[in-house]
Amino acid sequence: MEASDLVKDSELETKFFDDHLRHIFYRRGTNATDRRIRLSEKWVRNRQLGSGSFGTVWLETCKKTVRQGTPTTRAVKEIKVHPRVDITRELEAIAKFSNNKFEPCFVRSYGWFRGPESIFITMEYILHGDLRHHLRKLLPESEVKTISQQLLEGLKHMFDNRFVHRDLKPENILVVAKGPHWLVQISDFGISKRLQEGGTIQGTMRQGTLGFMAPELLGFVAEKRFPFAVDMWSLGAVAFRMFTGKQYLADYDEMREFVQGNRPFPSEELLGGGISEAGLDFIQKLLLADPGSRMTPDTAGAHEWHTELNRRS
């Protein structure tokens, strides 16, 4: 797949050294003989932040940046180049949603660069890590509302620009500020997809994480005309996790029984966690087997559970 101009323009000119790397930039000079001034940033790798099938994330620091608004600490995602892995869709998504108009919904990228065997994506370093590490205890309903509303805003931006995330889960939600006044951002566009007009999710099967994947991504529902509904299911599954401490239908057999109508929605588990009737209805309308019946960002944003939060805030 050919990279878009958005991806090409965000590539950083980079030189590698034994103990550091340098990014090269150019600034306008003041006269014809000195019209283009060459600048460089020196970045040093400190430690590993995480790793998985997606690649490895490193913490890097710079003594002095030459780009306005760039911090001196960053996270860098290293992805090994593989012929069967299309990295351009992740680069396109993160470049797109690093635009100022999408703040604060998404983790910001400061560009990407190539190595001999890897692609590196630079991102802001979020000190509090991902949401998964903050769910060792159940969250009160007011805090679940705050987080879900922020995720809903981010998903609306994605859908308006015809992007589907396809792997929304606590590990891909980074925490800028901890509760009770949470500020979260969506990250990791590794299996995201930008759809053409009228596009479906054909060819996206079995991609994602059990417990947060919609039934149509697992092959249990044949309907493919509502591609954005997979992320709405994931939003419901994340909210379910925050309320109960459990993953929702993280087993193939459980999912099959649910889709076939042989497994009821676990209302008692949510009510046992102190959820209101409005909150229960909100999550239930996201976790419907039929993707065409799930709430959209607009109907979810107009739901009683969220409008109540807006009136209070």
Is residue 204 predicted with pLDDT exceeding 50?
Answer: no
Q: Which of 106-115, 238-247, 252-261, 269-278 has the lowest mean pLDDT?
A: 269-278
Amino acid 308: pLDDT:
72
Amino acid 159: pLDDT:
97
Amino acid 229: pLDDT:
97
* 294 CB-near residues (< 8 Å, 6+ apart): 226, 229, 232, 233, 236, 285, 286, 287, 288
Beta strand spans in 115-191 (E): 118-124, 163-164, 173-177, 183-186
Amino acid 69: pLDDT:
85
Is residue 293 predicted with pLDDT exceeding 90?
Answer: yes
Q: Which of 132-146, 278-292, 296-310 has the lowest mean pLDDT?
A: 296-310
- ∠ CA(90), CA(94), CA(98), 5° rounding? 175
More confident residue, 84 or 233: 233
Is residue 89 predicted with pLDDT exceeding 90?
Answer: no
- ∠ CA(106), CA(110), CA(113), 5° rounding? 125
Task: Identify the structural domains of the chain with CATH numbers, from first to last.
Answer: 5-124 (3.30.200.20), 131-312 (1.10.510.10)
Amino acid 306: pLDDT:
84
Q: Which of 24-33, 190-199, 209-218, 256-265 has the lowest mean pLDDT?
A: 190-199
Single-letter residue type at 45: R
How many other C-beta atoms lie within 10 A of the C-beta of residue 56? 15
pLDDT tier at 4 (50, 70, 90 boundaries)? Answer: confident
Dump pLDDT digits (tens) for 185-200.
999 998 898 887 555 5
Is residue 285 predicted with pLDDT exceeding 50?
Answer: yes
Q: In the chain, what are the helix, strand and coil shares in percent, each to the nearest 5? A: 35, 25, 40
Helix (H, G, I), strand (E, B) or coil at 85: coil
What is the chain's alpha carbon radius of gyration, rounded to the nearest angstrom? 21
pLDDT tier at 1 (50, 70, 90 boundaries)? Answer: very low
For residue 175, what are the β-bridge partners?
A: 184
Is residue 207 predicted with pLDDT exceeding 70?
Answer: no
- CA 35, CA 37: separation in Å to the nearest integer? 7
Amino acid 24: pLDDT:
97
- In whole numbers, what is the pLDDT of the chain averaged over residues? 91
Q: Which two tokens stand for residue 202?
A: 């054909």
More confident residue, 84 or 31: 31
Dump pLDDT digits (tens) for 143-181.
999 999 999 999 999 999 999 999 999 999 999 999 999
Q: Which two tokens stand for residue 226?
A: 């509502």
